Structure 1
Amino acid sequence: MPTTLLIRQDALDQTRLQTLPDAALAAGQIRVRIGPFALTSNNLTYAALGQSLRYWEFFPSGEAGWGIVPAWGFATVVQSALPGVAVGERLYGLWPMADQAVLQPQRLRPDSFVDAAPHRVPLHPVYNHYSRCAADPLYTAGSEDLQALLRPLFITSWLIDDFLADQGFFGAGTVLLSSASSKTAFGCAFQLAQRAGLTVVGLTSPANMAFCTSLGCYDRVLAYDALDALPAETACVYVDFSGNSALRQAVHARFAQLRHSCTVGATHLAQLGMDVQLPGPPAVPFFAPAQIRKRTQDWGRQGFNARQAQAWQALLVRVGAPVRPWLVPQHHQGAAATQALYLQLLAGAGDPRSGHMVSMATA
């Protein structure tokens, strides 16, 4: 009997566990056992933006007002009614926070397929894509934890760096990154730090300044209330991973030479809000699938994958270094532990160096 974590869509701190009978597979479907998957601030962003960006629609709960937050990670095929997908096959992709799921694979390739369940067809295909680990160029069996924790975030990080470089950084020499301790932010900083002549500044809470400084990918790390440490005439780009509208207002008001402002995530859920008369350029949401589409057209699928794989391997080596790793995986087992961890992260608790890996199925 599958167990799923449900979240109240209009009150994200209200949760409960749902257990339903197994559904029989139809022809062309597969059943997978999910785990482990990563639970990070990225999942909180999916919940916070679930209505506007349709994240609640990937795995409908069947109950009005209650949703299932998607999570990136791994699963193993335990039942198959589809020739070409075998029991025991390992998959990477987007899953419900649950212990099992049913997919309807189509467009089978040696390295991937898409879930063509009718409710997912109108949604963006990037999120419907599943990698078949045996032929996935980014997969290594010994680093599944880091892959689940960083891979979807890394793709966004890498694409932000690529987008800004493609735009000549809008004529700016400094990039400001909020929520600098977040995985998406430091993945982006890692890419930006490799570009000559660019100053990368991380903005974070006082509690996370030491962690951000220890990473070595920021030229400067500033507390959120220390923006005046940078000259007001600094020509800069702002990449907002926090979603904190008050901070965004402060950045826009401080820097008259703000050349571009983009919003990516929402780690500071309590400070989400609408901008009123925002000074300077508008805050533009960054949509990773649009940059993927552009670069796939520019470089071809093979060229895109090769560039991505090269950058990914470099980050993986640094993050998992034996001495002072950037990220240390921690494992959580069972539905109750998953529910407790979600609420802990929602409350803003946790060590930024900890990476939480979850399996809802009992061992």
Structure 2
Amino acid sequence: MTDFTPALSDAAMPEIKLALDLSFVEAQFQRKLKQLADGGNVAVQDCKVIHYKPGRRCVIDYDVVVKHTQQPNQQHRLIGKIRANRFGKSGYRRLNALWEAGFNRETVRVPEPIGVVHQLHMWLQRHVPGRTFTELLAAYIAAKKSGCRTQALEDRLLELASLVATAVWKLSQTPIEFTTRHGIERECKILHERLLPTRSDSDGPDGRIRKLLDRVNDVVAKHEHSSRFLPIHRDFYSDQVICQQDTIHVIDFDTASLGDPALDVGNFNAHITEFSLRILGDPFALQQIEDAIERQFLQLDCDSSREAVQLYKSLALVRHIYISTLFAERARFTEQILELCESRLLNGNSKLQGASV
């Protein structure tokens, strides 16, 4: 069992301790997950923390067996999610609404929602086997670095790129009213909140970060704002896509809002650019995959534009300046990400193929 000692003492989520008590969890699953139990006896065999953000959220993986007397036992793997100051209902309702709106079939899906355990402030979904889009990108890069043939992997990624774009479009067309609106002004406000404290003393008030944020303000002010507020993921990147043969599952709708679908595409591609820069030293090495995602999205969404996608990509890359300061292993890339953002927003680098918004 994974060492989850730090999570046990989290004052913001005291229910974690009970959520890792197998006997308590077993009794709760038996009582609350009646559809899963289906008249049998629920046995929780093991659990492990697979994601933990102190004071914010905890994700737990459960191995469950439902034992029947008249039929074979059933194995289940469930993912339980706990968020600080939440009861689990909203996360479950959001996923269930998507499931019932058509994300339970075809090539773009979400994990199956299982239920809510109120005493644990937890909601559960079925585990989805497969590899994340990030893992496939890493496999492609590793093969490229070792001199192996990469055509099959590249073709696979390009096929999946089409599904990624379809996921954004499909979500935007789903008749769901998320409670939060997230426009471009809010995106800019977040950048200012995150980035200004990261300025070093040598930057000063007129330093590079300030200049970059001023340029962001100018570009956004001139941009023809989308009046569309459609369902968006808002934290859509390669870790959030689990790939199977001809199907992808989109996960983690915690920040889902109403906004411009171009944000999701721009954010996804910005993460690919940053990943390519960090792993290969070249932000353009995976450009063909980004192009495939953008191209398919624009074919599906006639009301969007390349300008909007590229603008949101630029904003997401600026946010990566801040993200790089949060992890010791990424801090050495802060300067390169900053230079890339300056190239896009300040210098109009022609290598961006017209994307210097």
Query: Structures share a fold, TM > 0.5?
Result: no
Task: With a CA cutoff of 8 Å and minimum separation of 6, indicate the structure with the bigger relative contact order.
Answer: 1
Q: Which has the larger radius of gyration?
A: 2
Query: Which TM-score applies when normalising by structure 1?
Result: 0.30
Query: Which TM-score applies when normalising by structure 2?
Result: 0.30
- Structure number having the greater strand percentage: 1
